[in-house]
């Protein structure tokens, strides 16, 4: 009797291909068609990251069932989420791509799952997928926080010396430049 993992392993290529299609379809309007149909010819860093990412994620989901898959998958999730975090997506849209794997599995493997009665395994796998969705949310939030932090840092950087100078005028003249970490003698 085949396990769900075997089943997925056997159908890995078509599953990944459909998952990729569905993800590319979340790109708005014109982009969707452009990137979807450009799969073999015109590609790009975005498509590249997504492709590699989903491959890695699926491998992690299958390879490990004892819990460390999250850590391993984080790298691949990051590849995808980092891009989607700076594209025109709402947070829910940005991390939604992971749920599309559920759709693919259910729709493409439904007959086999039913025939071999693999529902328990499917539920377990779906739980793992759900946890990756939560993880994606963390990554998304990190990326967005980073964006805002970068914006603030940039404002500061542009006038770094002015700010330092201003600080000194405000009464830090006894502190040497770059010496704020040194303990008083």
Partner 1 sequence: MAKLPPPEELVKINYSTPVKGWMDVPADFRPGTFSYPGKPDILKYLGFPNPREWSPTDADWKLPPDWREIIMKGFRERLDKYRSFKVFMDICVRCGACADKCHFYIGSGDPKNMPVLRAELLRSIYRGEFTVAGKILSRLAGARKLEEDVVKEWFMYFYQCTECRRCSLFCPYGIDTAEITMMARELLTLVGCNINWILEPAANCNRTGNHLGIQPHAYKDMMDFLCEDIETITGIHIEPPVNKKGAEILFITPSGDIFADPGIYTYMGYIMLFHELGLDYTWSTYASEGGNFGLFTSDTMMKKLNGKMYAEAKRLGVKWILGGECGHMWRVINQYMDTMNGPADFLETPVSPITGTRFDAAAGTKMLHIAEFTADLIKNGKLKLDPSRNANLRTTFHDSCNPARGMGLFEEPRYVLKNVCENFVDMPEETIREQTFCCGGGAGLNNEEFMEMRMRGGLPRGSAVKYVQEKNQVNTLVTICAIDRATLPPLCDYWAPGVQVAGLHELVANALVMEGEQERTMNMRQEPLPGFEDAEEEE
Partner 2 sequence: MAAFYSFMAVLALVFIAAIGAGSAGMYTLFGVAIPYVALLVFLAGFIYRIVYWAKSPVPFSIATTGGQQKSLPWIKNSPWDNPYTVTGTVIRMILEVVTFRSLFRNTKIDLRVDNVKVVYGSAKFLWLFALIFHMAFFTILIRHMRLFLDPVPACIQKIEFLDSILQVGIPTLYQTDLLILVGLTFLLLRRIVDVKVNYISLAQDYFPLFLLLGIAISGIYMRYFIKADVISIKELTMGLLSFKPALPEKALETTFFVHLFLVSCLLAYFPFSKLMHLAGVFLSPTRNLPNNTRRQHYTNPWNDPAIKPHSYAAYEDDFREKMIEAGLPVEKEA
Contacts to partner 2 by CB under 8 A: 30, 33-34, 37-38, 41-45, 47-48, 51-52, 55
With 0-12 / 13-18 / 19 or more C-beta atoms within 10 angstroms meaning exposed / middle / buried, residue 173 is exposed
Whole-number minimum distance, CB 140 to partner 1, in Å? 13
Binding mask 140-179 for partner 1 (x = CB under 8 A): ---x--xx--xxxxxx-xxxxxx-xx----------xxx-
Binding mask 22-51 for partner 1 (x = CB under 8 A): x--xxxxxxxxxxxx-----x-xxx-----
Instruction: Give dist(CA 65, CA 58) in Å, integer.
Output: 12
Tokens coding 56: 């890695």
Element (H, E) at 77: helix 69-84
Residue 124's binding partner among partner 1, partner 2, none (Cβ under 5 to 8 angstroms by kind) is none
Measured in residues, the chain has a length of 185
Name the residue nearer to partner 2 (CB basis): 46 or 137: 46
- Residue 176 is given by DSSP the state P
Determine contact, residues 9/62, Cβ cutoff 8 Å.
Answer: yes
- Considering only CA atoms, give the Rg of the chain: 23
The contact set with partner 1 (CB under 8 A) reads 22, 25-36, 42, 44-46, 82-83, 86-88, 92-93, 96, 99-100, 102-103, 106-107, 114, 143, 146-147, 150-155, 157-162, 164-165, 176-178, 182
């Amino acid at each position: 009797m085949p396990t769900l993992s075997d089943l997925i392993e056997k159908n890995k290529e078509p599953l990944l291909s459909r998952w990729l299609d569905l993800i590319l379809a979340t790109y708005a309007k014109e982009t969707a068609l452009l990137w979807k149909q450009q799969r073999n010819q015109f590609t790009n860093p975005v498509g590249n990251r997504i492709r590699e990412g989903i491959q890695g994620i699926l491998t992690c989901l299958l390879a490990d069932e004892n819990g460390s898959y999250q850590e391993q998958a984080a790298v691949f999730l990051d590849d995808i989420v980092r891009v989607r975090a700076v594209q025109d997506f709402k947070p829910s849209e940005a991390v939604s791509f992971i749920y599309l794997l559920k759709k693919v599995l259910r729709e493409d493997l439904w007959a086999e799952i039913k025939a071999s009665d693999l529902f328990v395994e499917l539920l377990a796998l779906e739980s793992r997928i759900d946890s990756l969705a939560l993880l994606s949310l963390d990554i998304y939030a990190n990326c967005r926080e980073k964006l805002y932090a970068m914006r603030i840092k940039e404002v500061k950087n542009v006038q770094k010396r002015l700010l330092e100078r201003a600080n000194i005028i405000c009464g830090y003249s006894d502190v040497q430049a770059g010496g704020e970490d040194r303990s008083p003698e």
